[in-house]
Chains A and B, each alone.
Chain A
Amino acid sequence: MQIVIERPGLMSTIQDMGRWEHLSQGVPRSGVMDVLSARIANLAVGNEPDAAVIEFTYGDARLRTETDILIAYSGDGATLFVDSERLPSDRPIYLAAGSYITLVNNPAGCRTYLAIAGGWDVPEVLGSRSTYMPAAFGGFQGRALQAGDVLHAGSTLSGIARQLCHRLRTATSSYSSWGIARWRLLPSDRRLIRVIPAREFTWFEGKSVVDFLSSPYTVSPTCNRMGYHLNGAPIGRLFARELLSTAVMPGTIQVTGDGRLILLMADSQTTGGYPRIAQVAAVDMPLCGQLKPGDSVYFREISRMEAEKLYLQQERLLTRLAVAITTKLTAVFS
């Protein structure tokens, strides 16, 4: 399976679930900004959760299929069209060779994930296929996709992917009657981000902590895959104490010297010296991955225990979903 990038869009990179092994050497985790959407796209084509996907930022991209392909997309940055036909998200789609896919901006969010059966085939670098652009390695030649790039899928298809190809094969385009209800895995209020108080939570003034947990914070134009600056009520410090640099990670909310918040994201550096006020609950990081400059959010405190419970619950749901898809397809074919 193979496609050509005709128009890459604002920033499109190959990502997977990131690289963990070299954090101690300062190599960021990287990987997809919205883990949930990427996993759902992979699930829908029978891939492993960590198969490489394309992460598109907003719409305005165009691709051509060079062979028949089995794909799925998920996320909130764009809607996919083939000619004038709108393709549904969160389900397997079969497209014949010679189709033109257009990504049209979706105002709901920022990032969209395109999975292909077999996963996008780029070399693993330091244990991951994720692109880390600041050091120009991983993904497709260490860079964002450009017009003319030819991308192909891994040749090993799962049993599910083979069955889906068999069922959906057509001369034009077709998709399954079922889809994955992504919204059911997301909180109903998408502007409320749950956070766990972090180690230096008590370093800040009482009023500032109240502001942090009750007033809106807006994503500034200074935002990228490394992190977002947030504008809102400034956070005052109780002491002038300095923090010795220590590990930080995606989801860590730091407070700069002038009292502004930085939310670290996928390409976050591995260590940092700003005091940490909170850590975003892992289950709400996909919401953060969809934020655009100008979007406002509120933070609400939950306990570490509750955050862990929510995370484990979501993992169980995703496992059950994978089983349900397998069962559905086996039932039809047995």
Chain B
Amino acid sequence: MDIQTQTNDGFTIYSLSEFAVAIEFAPDISTDTLERITRFNALLCHSPFDGFRTTVPAYTTLSIFFDPVVVIQSPRLHGINCFERVAGFLKGLNRGGSTPALSTASPIAIPVCYGGVSGPDLNEVARSIGMTPDEVIQLHSTAVYHVYMVGFTPGFAYLGGMPGELSSPRKSTPRGTVPAGSIGIAGKQTGIYSLESPGGWQIIGRTPLRLFDANNAQPTLLKAGDRVVFKVITECR
């Protein structure tokens, strides 16, 4: 077997394909891991290697995509294959790079219309955790959330930081269609559906904001590392 891994103070690099490697920063989800991934991602995007294409941050990993033809020909990278060359660069960056300051921008406010047709599962969630719907809204809209990852569909943001009391299991039968902008709960996570799609999360509200717009050069409202708060609105469409 030939799955290459190399460890180096606190992270592991492994191969994903001829085009990609991943760095695993920690075994578990935490805001500390999120911050390390966000910092390293910013550092790498700021000073990329020859052949670098893009990155995909996730809960505990940062995956790095590159063009093997450029990587293997670069005089600035060292090693007999692309994995060695890219892994070598990443370890060097981790040792030597001065980490850019994280954005201290205030959290992004997402207006949400809770309950009713916008949040058909609000009452069920409230019942299952022994609260009133208003208490659920109150708790959900006062926490500050972190975007851990954007995936599933373009712009779908996985948020951490939901108060533990709100944890509720996924729906036993997924819905065929969940409208874009729906705010859902699944286990300890909350998330926002960016497009109309099938889905099994408990839907407690909906935002009128567009999470994804392909015609915008910056197509998603949220990216990994952002902080988010929900604001209750009553003018629902």
Contact = CB atoms under 8 A, between A and B. Distances in A.
Contact of A137 (B20, B29, B153, B214): B214
Given A24-B54, A315-B69, A251 B3 contact: no
B214 A25 contact: no
Interface stretch (B129-137, B200-208, B219-227): B219-227
Given A270-B56, A279-B17, A198 B3 contact: yes
Nearest to B19: A282
Nearest to B158: A245
Given A201-B3, A308-B81, A25 B69 contact: no
A24 B20 contact: no
Contact of A247 (B4, B20, B69): B20
Q: SS class of chain A's interface: helix, strand, loop or mixed?
A: mixed
Interface residues of A, number: 44
B214 A247 contact: no
B40 interface: no
Contact of A311 (B4, B57, B68, B217): B68
B17 A282 contact: yes
A301 B81 CA distance: 19
Given A270-B56, A308-B68, A251 B17 contact: yes
B81 A305 contact: yes
Interface in A26-55: 26-28
Contact of B219 (A27, A28, A301): A27
B69 A245 contact: no
Interface string B1-16: 1111000000000111
Contacts of A142: 214
Interface stretch (B59-67, B90-98, B102-110): B59-67
Contact of A25 (B2, B81, B155): B155
Interface stretch (A15-23, A169-177, A182-190): A15-23
Given A126-B219, A308-B82, A247 B150 contact: no
Interface in B139-171: 149-156, 158
Given A135-B212, A138-B214, A245 B2 contact: no
B58 A244 contact: yes
A270 B53 contact: no
Contacts of A134: 153, 195, 197
B123 interface: no
B150 A26 contact: yes
A279 B72 CA distance: 21
Contacts of A282: 17-19
12 contacts: A22-B154, A26-B154, A26-B156, A135-B214, A199-B22, A244-B61, A246-B58, A247-B20, A249-B17, A271-B56, A304-B3, A311-B18
Interface of B: 1-4, 14-20, 22, 28-29, 53-61, 63, 65, 68-69, 72, 81-83, 149-156, 158, 194-195, 197, 212, 214-215, 217, 219-220, 223-224
